Structure 1
Amino acid sequence: MAARFKTKFGIDFSQPQLILTALKHRSYLNVTNEPRIFSNERLEFLGDAVTNLVVTEFLYRKFPKKTEGQLSKVKSILVSKPVMAEIAAGMSLGEMLLINWGEEKTGGRQRISLLGDAFEAVVGAIYLDQGMETARRFIERYLLKDYQKILKRGLYKNYKSILLEYAQSTSKQPPEYRVVEESGPDHAKQFTVEVWVNGQKLGQGTGRSKKLAEQQAARQAIEKLGISPGDQLEK
């Protein structure tokens, strides 16, 4: 695994076990009969902190005139699981994951949670083996290089938060979300939610959970209102 990682990413681990652990999902422990501490979860915990620090410092230096609130919003996008999962997929980390047959059958190598966690775990492993500067370069190369594209696409934002901010700035009243339909069996429910602002229906969304449906409704609302979710750093 360490040799494969070196060939692909140019990082030569002095402690090869670290990168092996970083790519070992807890499901694989059923194969190896190891305790849970031998999965990548501890390295993910460390890598999460390292990634947050690097991204925070990057934004702090890059945008000296932005407020703490603006920087926090952008950071939350860049360090979100969907973003890191997309980066990990582009790096083909999914192909390197150690998972059991059950995860393999259910598409674990493409799952957002597994890919996002793997990216953070790899960062944690690099930090322990190579130090902060190598970890920083890795994050900058793969996560921060195209940060502007990530922000402008607006694919990973919390649309409910954006709509809430708009509503509070215009009327002081928060948006109201109404579940108007539930369909499907218990194991595969579909929810339809409407969002109302100032007594006006602005959007409707459908999803496998109320939260997902609310996000879709909020997204439709901000599009209707002409709010650009990629504006955090442009204003």
Structure 2
Amino acid sequence: MEWKPTYLQDKIGVRFKNSALLFESLIHPSYAQQVNRSENNNERLEYLGEKILEFIITNYLYQNCSYLAVSKLTTLRNKLEEKEKLTDLWFKLGLGESFPFLAVKDERHYLRIKRNNPFEKALKALVGAMHLDRGSSQTFNWVKKQLIAPLLARHLKNIKDRLDHEKQLEFLGEALFNAIVADYLYRLFPYVNTCFLSKITKKLVVKEQQNKYINQLTSEDWKIIDTENEKINRKSFTSLLAAIYIHFDQQNSKISFRETGSWWINKSIDEDEIWRELINLLIKDGVSQKWIIRQVMGYESKDYNEGRERFHELMKSSKIDNEIKIGDHY
């Protein structure tokens, strides 16, 4: 189908500043491979959108269902994230007959009932694109309007008391942390596929690493955390992160996600170390130094020497075999 961003944006109900992001969210890997641009597909946006969607749903439940136990909140979230519901929304928006762009021969109505159908993946990619283009606040409102409210709003109770604030904070914080990490890595590594993004994600969110983040908190951080919450698990980084998010959200809900992410990055992240982790993973996978400098670090031919210097600066404490051949991933 001919690309008409205005037509599509009318169906979605959102105006994109950068319609290229919207287009990318619609490119199924099968179509990208068919047109010999296999790396230009919606998988990276799906990786981001999946975490953003989970956080949005979690945040909504935290705000509106304080009277429920975390086990019930988790069940509700799982139901809202079901593939069938995401697929139904895609078709309800009027997108299923033409989007995403596919190369597969199966009829769309048949693909719709498959376990790994392209429609729910495209919806997650759309959420990722919307998050990048319009920001977390507008994306939250869109998901709330299109997905959550039609299924849940009429069942809500007007009860403000929290059943278990400590556990609910951790419930919110876990989804928040995963979304922040996905957002950070997506932006930091624009040329890296989801396989390696997922591996780096695991290294950043493991419990041992979270304990290190706690040790980096200052007295000022603890003052904010303790002011916002009388009772909090001081050994749970995700609970502490949720408290920081709530603090920023009360100041300005439109930028609270970004502010919380910046707080974590500035407080806890050694970006060079993350680059070293990624490069080591790539080299173990058989990727050459030259390919990493050009295709991962983004240095063009005219800047290759500068890129090589940066590469060696990053890896001076690591053992590198510069003769490793390019692996299958790249």
TM-score (norm 2): 0.42
Change (3 A) 1:88 1:105: closer
Change (3 A) 1:101 1:64: closer
Is it true that 1:35 corresponds to 2:65 in the alignment?
no
1:107-122 aligned within 5 A = 107-108=110-111, 113-122=117-126
Give the residue type in structure 1 aligned to 2:140. Answer: R
Structure 1 contact 43–120 (Cα < 8 Å) conserved: yes
Moved over 6 A (4+): none
Give the residue type in structure 1 aligned to 2:20. Answer: Q
Give the residue type in structure 2 aligned to 1:48. Answer: E
The CA distance in 2 between the partners of 1:56 and 1:98, in whole Å, is 30
Which residue number in structure 1 is paired with residue 53 of structure 2? 51
1:7 shift after superposition: 2.3
SS at 1:28's partner residue?
Answer: helix
SS at 1:145's partner residue?
Answer: helix
Give the residue type in structure 2 aligned to 1:141. Answer: K
Instruction: Give 1 or 2 for the bigger CA radius of gyration.
Output: 2
Is it true that 1:75 corresponds to 2:64 in the alignment?
no
Give the residue type in structure 1 aligned to 2:71. Answer: G
Change (3 A) 1:71 1:99: same
The CA distance in 1 between the partners of 2:147 and 2:108, in whole Å, is 29
Structure 2 contact 11–94 (Cα < 8 Å) conserved: no
Structure 1 unpaired stretches of 5+: 152-235
SS at 1:35's partner residue?
Answer: coil
Change (3 A) 1:105 1:146: closer
The CA distance in 2 between the partners of 1:90 and 1:105, in whole Å, is 14
Candidates 105, 113, 133, aligned match of 1:129: 133
Judging by fraction of residues, say which structure has more helix.
2
Is it true that 1:96 corresponds to 2:99 in the alignment?
yes
Q: Sequence identity of aligned pairs in percent?
A: 23
Change (3 A) 1:74 1:102: same
Q: What is the total number of aligned residue pairs between the two structures?
A: 150
SS at 1:93's partner residue?
Answer: coil
Candidates 62, 65, 68, aligned match of 1:66: 68
Structure 2 unpaired stretches of 5+: 156-330
* 1:96-145 residue CA offsets vs partner (Å, 9 max, x unmatched): 22011524578446756211111111000000111011111110111012
Judging by fraction of residues, say which structure has more strand.
1
Indicate the larger mover: 91-100 or 120-129.
91-100
Indicate the larger mover: 117-126 or 6-15.
6-15
Structure 1 contact 89–110 (Cα < 8 Å) conserved: no
Which residue number in structure 1 is paired with residue 282 of structure 2? none
Change (3 A) 1:72 1:40: same
Is it true that 1:23 corresponds to 2:26 in the alignment?
yes
1:81 shift after superposition: 1.1
Which residue number in structure 2 is paired with residue 147 of structure 1? 151
TM-score (norm 1): 0.58
